[in-house]
Amino acid sequence: MPHKVGAYIRVSTEEQAQVVEGSIDSQKFRLKKFVEGKNDIEKTWGKLIDLYIDDGFSAKDTKRPAYQKMMRDVRAGKINLILVSDVSRLSRNIHDFCSLLKDLEDHKAKFLSVKEQFDTSTPAGEMMIYNMINLAQFERRQTAERVSMNFHSRALRGLLSGGNPILGFDKDPENRGRLIVNQSEAVMVRKIFDTYLETGSLQDTAKALNGSGIQPKIGEGRRCRHVSEGRWTVGSVRNHLLNLAYVGKLEVNRRFKNEDSDTLKSWQKYQIVDASWPAIVDEKVFYSVQKLVDENREKERFRFKTGQRRFFLLSGIIRCGECGRALIGQTSTGRSAAHRYYGHKIIVGETNSCRIKRFRSEDVEAAVVNHLDEMLLRAGYLDQIEKNIRQMMAGKTSDALAERERIKKDLLALDKEIESAFKLHSEMNSSPSVLDLVREKLESLADKKRELVKYLESTEDLIQKDQDAREARKVIEDQALEQTWPFILKDRLETECDEFLRVQQFHANVAHPAYKVIPVDQIFGVRFTNTDKSDVNRLSKTGFVSR
């Protein structure tokens, strides 16, 4: 059968990926020529189905988009042969490579390297492939260690090892490891620190900066996390305020800052050294800001630790009547108490022009809960729910009752037949062949009994669901009478009725546990009366509930 070939191509850096006629083009050419050569020798050897190209990804793991797409195609049967120019293009990790081989084996696929054409179906070929991957992994780790040691040496001398310049600095064109002061941006940086000392709040500082026209510096490169469309956020303000580069210091191995130094190698230990560029923020101002940031962080931790847990019944469910955006629970702390609201979810870069920015949660929840209480306790409403449930189950339940009686009769007859066979077996002194026939009969009867018992159990389950239908109405009614609707919608009802509702699949559009405020009728098949609909319209006009 012809091979369905997927050619995998990878380069490690963006620079390699951008070189015209570079490594990517070379790999494409080699792989296409290899397939053509194979087909010249064997006319139906295979067809190149697709090219999978990861440009700028390391082979240290499998977190590569083209690689993941290729493996999905293997599992789907779209390709059954992975072709690479050499093994290291595919993986430099022995664990990942073993997983790859197992995955290929499970889906009756294989891989082939143009450079190392080992037959993995033989023990010798498999050993050679594993040795090649081990060597590739060793090379990768050795290279990574050498690079880390080199970066560490540069950092101790106060030099950068890549990355984009921060606000207030530019890269030195003569030495890319150094920064030079951008005087106009340095004024902005000092303004950020002064604003935070004035407001004492990251959020207020971000608002002030966005209103002042000062914009964050946006870096370059595919992997650069662009600051949210030129606007300041709490996170970007915090990052600037905590950056030691503004006082002429450089953090070495910051990612190991909270690690036990005794477990780290010498070039992995965290330390602070003098940078190769001057400070642009006064140290007194900088460390005053650090103290204030720490104090605010501790206050926030204390508030979360000691504060009352706040439950927002309708968060994410209701929507603004003007813009249609979801409203979420929000809390603001006044002088004497905390106030709860439903407000618009903040989306950085978007402005909110709605007339009403937020609603008091007490007003919204009271309106919705009162409406639900009235709707549920209205005469005949719960009766209709139970009726609809029972109608859906009526046919199956009546059949199940009759089936249960038939099975019980069959089991009684079967027990008598088994008893007779045992009695016959004990009284006979026949030849071994006759006894074997009796034993086979007993085994057949035993198998049949097991099947009947299992069928009886499934029938009992169906009958039990009829009882569940009666109990479901009582649960809903009791909870409504106890005025616990906030917890029914998101907790109690889910716990007590979810399995029953899921099995019966009352309504094709129900997606538990994403309960809605108004469409209770959609779950149970009960139609709103005209009065119900007018109540819903009334709530919708308040902006509390979306229709």
CB 80 within 8 A of CB 89: no
Closest residue by Cα to residue 414 from 456, 461, 450, 438: 450
Query: Kindly report the CA angle at 248 between 247 and 250, in degrees rounded to 5?
Result: 110
DSSP code, position 527: P
User: Tens of pLDDT along the chain (547 residues)?
Assistant: 789 999 999 988 654 545 544 578 889 999 999 999 999 999 889 999 999 999 888 888 888 999 999 999 999 999 999 999 988 888 888 888 888 888 988 999 988 888 887 766 677 777 887 887 788 788 878 888 888 888 888 888 888 887 888 899 998 888 888 889 999 999 999 999 999 999 999 989 998 998 888 888 876 654 444 445 578 888 889 999 999 999 999 988 888 887 887 888 887 888 888 988 999 999 999 999 999 999 988 887 776 666 556 667 777 677 787 777 778 888 776 667 777 888 887 665 566 778 877 788 888 777 777 777 676 666 555 666 666 655 555 555 556 667 777 777 777 777 777 667 666 656 555 556 656 666 676 677 677 777 777 777 777 776 666 666 556 556 555 554 444 443 334 343 333 333 333 333 333 333 333 333 333 333 333 333 333 444 434 433 333 333 3
* Spatial separation of the C-alpha atoms in residues 355 and 323, rounded to whole Å: 10
* Spatial separation of the C-alpha atoms in residues 202 and 207, rounded to whole Å: 9
CB 494 within 8 A of CB 513: yes
Own/partner long-range contacts of 266-272 (Cβ < 8 Å, ≥24 apart): 267/148, 267/149, 267/152, 267/153, 268/148, 268/152, 272/244
Both tokens assigned to 123:
């023990």
* Spatial separation of the C-alpha atoms in residues 428 and 442, rounded to whole Å: 15
Walk across the sheet containing 327-333 and list its strands: 327-333, 338-344, 358-360
The fold adopted by the segment(s) 169-306 is Hect, E3 ligase catalytic domain fold (3.90.1750)
Closest residue by Cα to residue 400 from 462, 475, 350: 462
* Spatial separation of the C-alpha atoms in residues 68 and 243, rounded to whole Å: 37
* Spatial separation of the C-alpha atoms in residues 405 and 283, rounded to whole Å: 89
Position 524 scores a pLDDT of: 36
Closest residue by Cα to residue 456 from 497, 498, 418, 408: 408
- List, in sequence order, every residue forming a beta bridge with 84; answer none if it has no partner: 113
Position 190 scores a pLDDT of: 94
Position 76 scores a pLDDT of: 92
Q: Are strands 110-113 and 46-55 parallel, antiparallel or unpaired?
A: unpaired
CB 84 within 8 A of CB 110: no
* DSSP secondary structure of 44-66: TSEEEEEEEEEET--SSSS--HH
12 is catalytic: yes
The fold adopted by the segment(s) 3-153 is Rossmann fold (3.40.50)
Closest residue by Cα to residue 359 from 313, 402, 305, 391: 313
Among residues 12, 23, 91, 361, the one annotated as catalytic is: 12
Position 389 scores a pLDDT of: 58
Alpha-helical (H) ranges within 378-504 are: 381-427, 432-481, 485-487, 493-504
- List, in sequence order, every residue forming a beta bridge with 81; answer none if it has no partner: 5, 110
Both tokens assigned to 406:
């038939």
Is the preceding omega at residue 513 within 30 degrees of 0, hence cis?
yes
Domain coordinates in residue numbering, the chain: 3-153, 169-306
Which residues, 6+ apart, have CB-to-CB distance to 281 below 8 Å? 189, 190, 193, 246, 247
